[in-house]
Amino acid sequence: MIPVPMRINGEPRPMSELLVHFDMPINPALWGYPQMLLTFAELILGIPRQLSGQGTQHDVETLGGQQLQLDRSATVLKPYWENVQDEEAAAEQNAFECLQKLMKAGAVKQITQVIEAQGGAYENQTIDWSELQGNVNFSVDESQDLPADPDELKAAIETMFDQLQKGNPAAAEWFDVPANQELAQSLKLPGSVIPNEAQTLKTENDIQMIVEQGPQVKMNPDGSKGTELPAHPGKWEDFPVAKKVVSRYMNSHFELRVEKPMAWVALAQYWDELDEMDMQVAAKAANRQMQVQMAGKPPAPQPDPAQQGELKELIAAAQQAIPLLMRIGAMDPMITKQTATAQVSALKEIVDTTVDAAKLAAGNN
């Protein structure tokens, strides 16, 4: 169906010189590659054949023996994992070298990469051809190893618990993050309730409403227009936890300052409402505590009748002595030989007597 020319430049040529056969031998190890991938997938999913008995020996009937075989099967994953790393590094090397050749030949005119711009936004940046010249070597990161299994994660959580009990501030901050609490719960105490979970969910729901709906326009009593948040905090909430949730969200989604400035302002207003209501509730609780303390104090002792009589006599005597002392205090210094000692003493006596009488009337002996 496809004609084959038997002459080249007028000269006859045999068929053996016109057809070319390429010998492409296949590595025999390729035939075992599907089985290797199957075992790799089984170990990644955590369903090796030991679980169904297919990979165990018939004479191994103890739990320890079965676990030993399961552990041995997991160790088989490591060389496969290393092969995947080598394969990915080689693929990246080939892709980069092909890109260099395409740009050198003019097949690729321009390449851009996505970078983070000012304010959390993203923009395209043109890559200079000079940055792709030269030899680049892609190698496997030596620090990479098998993914952490559940036992390793549990051991890490137990270490964090131990550091928390020893007062490690870094461990306390780690457990303060709700996502880390959920990880510890799923590994150590499945089914338990995370502390402050209800408050966190309520605050996160308010944040979602504020970001999606934004501030709503409302009419003020004076006829002017204002804004109203779609969600507000309540006086019954755990304010320190709620403020941490809002603060963590705003720090993690700082791009809202540019992408949704109205939502950003609304979140700041929501945080201010939390802070204001926190102070109001704290002031009310302090006032209530003061009233309780005042109510719990014993009643003041009743005045002594005899003491009250003596006080009346003292006040009457002071009333009679005060006019005389005031006249002495107003004497001309010429009479007292240019000194005011008598005048000062008389006025001081009036003041001291008045102060003592006030203290006695107040019940301070």
Q: Please give the full DSSP string across 212-273, using - where no structure is assigned.
A: HH-PEEEE-TTS-EEEE-S----TTS-HHHHHHHHHHHHHHTTTHHHH-HHHHHHHHHHHHH
Binning the chain into helix, strand and coil, the percentages to the nearest 5 are 60, 5, 35
Residue 144 is classified by DSSP as -
- Separation between Cα atoms, residue 88 and residue 83, nearest integer Å: 9
Q: For residue 217, what pLDDT is reported?
A: 79
pLDDT at 10 over 60: yes
Q: Tell me the whole-structure pTM to 2 decimals.
A: 0.42
- Separation between Cα atoms, residue 346 and residue 326, nearest integer Å: 7
Q: What are the tens digits of pLDDT across the range 90-123?
A: 899 899 889 888 888 888 877 888 877 655 567 7
113: which strand partners?
A: 125
Residue 194 is classified by DSSP as P
- Separation between Cα atoms, residue 206 and residue 67, nearest integer Å: 48
Q: For residue 139, what pLDDT is reported?
A: 78
Tokens (6 digits) for 157: 């959580």
Is there a contact between 330 and 347 (Cβ–Cβ < 8 Å)? Answer: no
**Amino acid in the structure at residue 225:** K
Q: For residue 144, what pLDDT is reported?
A: 46
**Would you give the end-to-end CA distance of the chain in angstroms?**
132
110-119, 179-188, 227-236, 350-359: segment of lowest average pLDDT? 350-359
Backbone angles phi, psi at 125, to 5 degrees: -120, 130
Q: What are the tens digits of pLDDT across the range 136-170?
A: 788 776 544 555 566 777 788 888 888 888 888 88
Q: For residue 113, what pLDDT is reported?
A: 80
- Separation between Cα atoms, residue 215 and residue 61, nearest integer Å: 67
- Separation between Cα atoms, residue 102 and residue 88, nearest integer Å: 21
More reliable by pLDDT, 188 or 160: 160
Q: Return the axis-axis angle of helices 150-165 and 178-188, rounded to nearest 10°.
A: 120
* Positive/negative CA dihedral, 74, 76, 78, 80: negative
Q: What are the tens digits of pLDDT across the range 196-217?
A: 878 888 898 899 888 888 888 7
Is there a contact between 257 and 120 (Cβ–Cβ < 8 Å)? Answer: yes
Q: What are the tens digits of pLDDT across the range 320-354?
A: 666 766 776 676 666 666 565 665 676 667 667 76
